[in-house]
Amino acid sequence: MISERYRVHELIGEGGMGAVYRGEQVHLRKQVAIKVLQPSARNLPQIVARFEREAIAGAHIQHPNVVSASDFGQLADRSHFLVLEYVEGTPLQDVIASAPLPARRALHIARQIASALEAVHAKGIVHRDVKPQNILLGARDQVKLIDFGLAKVNVELLSTESREAARKGQDLTAADQVLGTLSYLAPEAVRGMDAVDARADLYALGIILYEMLSGRSPFDASDGQSSFRKRLLEDAPPLRQRAPGSGIRPEVEALVMRLVQRDPIQRYPTATNVIAAIDGAIAAMEGAPRQLEPTVTMQPGAPGHQTSATSLASRWSSPAMRPWLIASIVVSLLLSVALLIAILLS
């Protein structure tokens, strides 16, 4: 039991600084995730402060695409714990690794990520570690953005101690320090994390959407450091160049390529703008002419069977039907002559 109200059931994940357990809020009979820092981390103020920031970010953002936090505290051994919404899902990383996603599915997922970021940024928070590993997909591709451990949080949301440290300039990151996953880090981070704002999260979303559609990273690189170096010096290649024959529509490619611009000024300014662009791309796709369905041959007389004019013409022009065609014409002529004689004699 933790804090006399959380029962720990099983370990579901573990890292160098902490572990995550599936648990239960016993009074509410509600399943939760419990994240616990290792006892050794209590002597690392930066790790504890990041843990607090994750708790604060999760507590202040109520959105269907963001994992929420409900409690934060210390154990008897002074280790910190964080209680989070329990989510069963598949990391987007595993989905991308299997095969490129159809454009409609990729845009559906990207729109939810953008919606989550819209809510995050509205609170003055920058996630700073948006990547496929931190995006869970539940039933019907329901997105959950997780792990705010590296987030830049609005100072006014911090505890008194953290707020005073931030105001004295003792932030979690030095001016020239780079944090995050290099494969999804925006180029401006090379100037330090102070240069990273909400548009860096949108850049990471662009890289993720690029990978969902093409099944590949924009740059071929052996590791994250090489990839980051290339992104500092080169523009991302056109999406259709990395995924030839994929049939990606121009408006979808334009959306992705604007997100991954090296210069943050050239990107969409806000997540709200990204949502509008995604909606526009989806609308353009829905309005595009659909490919004709393959012709299905049905037996005459079967339900739904229709005989076209072309099939009738080809049937009457076949050699087997020619004598019947000639006989029909002769009978029609004789009937016409008989009708004319009858009219004249009347």
Q: What letters, b where the CB count within 10 A reaches 16 and e where it falls short, cover 151-168?
A: bbbeeebbeeebeebbee
Other C-beta atoms closer than 10 Å to the C-beta of 201 total: 29
- In angstroms, rounded to a whole number, what is the distance separating the alpha carbons of residues 281 and 203? 18
Angle between helix 250-259 and helix 271-287 axes, rounded to 10 deg: 170
Q: Is 168 assigned to a binding site?
A: no
- In angstroms, rounded to a whole number, what is the distance separating the alpha carbons of residues 237 and 242? 7
- In angstroms, rounded to a whole number, what is the distance separating the alpha carbons of residues 328 and 316? 12
Q: Which residue among the candidates 77, 94, 129, 223 is catalytic per the annotation?
A: 129
Query: CA 299, 302, 303 angle in degrees (round to 5)?
Result: 145
Q: Is 220 an active-site residue?
A: no
- In angstroms, rounded to a whole number, what is the distance separating the alpha carbons of residues 212 and 206? 10
Which of 111, 18, 3, 13 shows the shortest CA–CA distance to 65? 111
Contact between residue 58 and residue 68 where contact means Cβ atoms under 8 Å apart: yes
From the annotation, which residues make up the binding site for ATP? 35
Residues with active-site annotation: 129
From the annotation, which residues make up the binding site? 35
